[in-house]
Amino acid sequence: MSDQREQQNPITTTDAGIPVSSDEYSATVGPDGPTLLQDSYLIEKMAQFNRERVPERVVHAKGTGAFGYFEVTEDVTQWTRAAFLNTVGKRTPLLIRFSTVAGELGSADTVRDPRGFAIKFYTEEGNYDMVGNNTPVFFVRDASKFQDFIHSQKRMPGDDLRSNNAQWDFWSLSPESAHQVTILMSDRGTPRTLRHMNGYSSHTYMWINAKGERFWVKYHFKTEQGIANFTNAEAKAMTAEDPDYHRRDLREAIQKKDYPVWRLEMQIMPFEDAATYRFNPFDLTKVWPHKDYPTISIGRMVLDRNPENFFAQIEQAAFEPSNMVPGIGPSPDKMLLGRLFSYADTHRYRIGTNYKQLPVNAPEVEVHSYSKDGSMRYRHNGNQPVYAPNSYGGPQADPQRYPEPSWFASGEIMRSAYTLHAEDNDFVQAGNLYRHVMTETDREHLVDNIVGHISQGVERVIQERTVNNYWSQVDPDLGARVAKGLGLELRPELPTSVGGV
């Protein structure tokens, strides 16, 4: 009988592996008596439970993810020496995490928000993280404004409520946000599923080939499921019906073996073009028009495996743009350079010093670093040297084989906006999107979504600013339609340009 039971169910143990005598009862004095402090199993259960959560991500808290692979479909060795991209047909395992930005861990999936699109490639030269979004641009272009931007999106200090007033206040005082806000307020701000949206690096990165030649690149992961969005009304209805709709949809699609696929298309700019391009190519609020730099298809990403344990594999996943492998480097994008610090720092706080040793974050190659100790260290190199240089066979860096990605920089230290390019302008690309890319239905939905959003709790003075200094600058027709929707007079005497790059 007992043998038979052991075959069906293992015996419960404590976390130290010691068999326990009851799954249901505390140790007490007599059947109704007081509980004993010596019941260390009960104490372990309670104490472990009290520590089940790690802090949620300060942004992108609600998300989901899956495993899969990336397959190279074109020869890209003329542009990058990255080993995982060096052979057509080569496959690299990966993890992706999708997320919303502003909501908390339990918030609804289908709210209006950008979506995170974070990929960890487990390559043969270490982990490469591409931590992007489902939009090709961002709200601000300087890391110094990111915290303020996020504060305007999250809950207010006094009442702990989110505030449309704060959002439009910040946006309308930050004209560089216009391009991203136009996309956010369009139906692309409410994707139908995570499978039906694109992902973008948004930032420009550097690729370096085996000869040391450098290129500026942008990544576009194009959904092979096709773009599909919810209207505002559909998204709101789904928020009520199933707040976990996106999470459920992705999991079920993979369960059914309906594996989602994205094509990776690259925009590639010769290194020298950046200096003379008509606007700053490293400005995160702008795209590179396709006619200037057409996309080149180089590979595909397939998601074919659900996580087995959500907490261990998704909640504790730690993506960081600073994880770049040889052949890939950063660009002078000020936001990207800020992000290179921010993510590892937040992981050390959110998960712990040795977060890179967790299976989901660990590379599939051997690690030979000189870091040691710290809370919860699991991996070690025995008694190997822990300092460099050393005479005892410790790891040695190879600057010839792995030169630092670089570009020439000089100048006085200052705090300023980008100033060097002729056609830098905050509104022109948002205007092009409105005028030349959107259909009339897209434009109608955009206007309705903006008006609906600004109508909720936004002060008149801020409404007027968004109409005159913001939407009218993106496009006069858009400004007029938003003004009409809000019942406002256009006020051309207000400053028409809020200036700057």
Containing 254, the helix (H) or strand (E) segment is helix 245-255
| 421: contact with ligand NDP by CB under 6 A | no
| 191: contact with ligand HEM by CB under 6 A | no
Sign of CA dihedral 267, 271, 274, 277: negative
Closer residue to ligand NDP, CB minimum distance, 79 or 221? 221
| 63: contact with ligand HEM by CB under 6 A | yes
- Interatomic CA distance for residues 166 and 462, integer angstroms: 9
Spacing of C-alpha 144 from chain mean position: 18
- Interatomic CA distance for residues 481 and 484, integer angstroms: 5
Whole-Å CA distances, 101 to 49, 191, 307, 335: 28, 14, 21, 17
With H, G, I as helix, E, B as strand and everything else as coil, classify residue 354. coil
Burial of 433 (0-12, 13-18, 19+ CB in 10 A): buried
Q: Please, where are the H alpha helices in 295-377?
A: 310, 334-350
* Residue 215 interacts with which of ligand NDP, ligand HEM, none, CB < 5 to 8 Å by class: none
Site for ligand NDP in 217-236 (CB under 6 A): 220, 222
Site for ligand HEM in 98-137 (CB under 6 A): 99, 116-118, 131-133
Residue 347 falls in the annotated catalytic set: no
343 is in an annotated binding site: yes
Closer residue to ligand HEM, CB minimum distance, 118 or 462? 118
| 289: contact with ligand NDP by CB under 6 A | yes
Closer residue to ligand HEM, CB minimum distance, 221 or 471? 221
Residue 203 falls in the annotated catalytic set: no
* Residue 91 interacts with which of ligand NDP, ligand HEM, none, CB < 5 to 8 Å by class: none
β-strands 91-100, 115-123: how paired?
Answer: antiparallel
Q: Shortest approach of ligand NDP to residue 137 CB, angstroms?
A: 7
Residue with the shortest CB distance to ligand HEM: 116
* Residue 116 interacts with which of ligand NDP, ligand HEM, none, CB < 5 to 8 Å by class: ligand HEM
Among 79, 122, 146, 293, which residue interacts with ligand HEM (rule: CB under 6 A)? 146
Amino acid (one-letter) located at 15: D
Among 130, 287, 318, 467, which residue interacts with ligand NDP (rule: CB under 6 A)? 287
Catalytic site residue from 9, 50, 86, 133? 133
- Interatomic CA distance for residues 310 and 291, integer angstroms: 42
SS (H, E, C) 383-424: CCCCCCCCCCCCCCCCCCCCCCCCCCCCCCCCCCCCCCCCCC
| 303: contact with ligand HEM by CB under 6 A | no
Q: Shortest approach of ligand HEM to residue 449 CB, angstroms?
A: 22
- Interatomic CA distance for residues 392 and 394, integer angstroms: 6
Closer residue to ligand NDP, CB minimum distance, 28 or 297? 297
* Residue 357 interacts with which of ligand NDP, ligand HEM, none, CB < 5 to 8 Å by class: none
* Residue 312 interacts with which of ligand HEM, ligand NDP, none, CB < 5 to 8 Å by class: none
Containing 171, the helix (H) or strand (E) segment is helix 164-172
The answer to whether residues 321 and 129 touch, using CB atoms and an 8 Å cutoff, is yes
ω into 93 cis (within 30 of 0) = no
- Positions that interact with ligand NDP (CB under 6 A): 136, 183, 186, 188, 198, 220, 222, 287-290, 429, 432-433, 437-438, 442
* Residues lying near ligand HEM in the complex (CB under 6 A): 57-60, 63, 97, 99, 116-118, 131-133, 138, 143, 146, 202, 317-319, 335, 338-339, 342-343, 346-347, 350
Active-site residue list? 60, 133
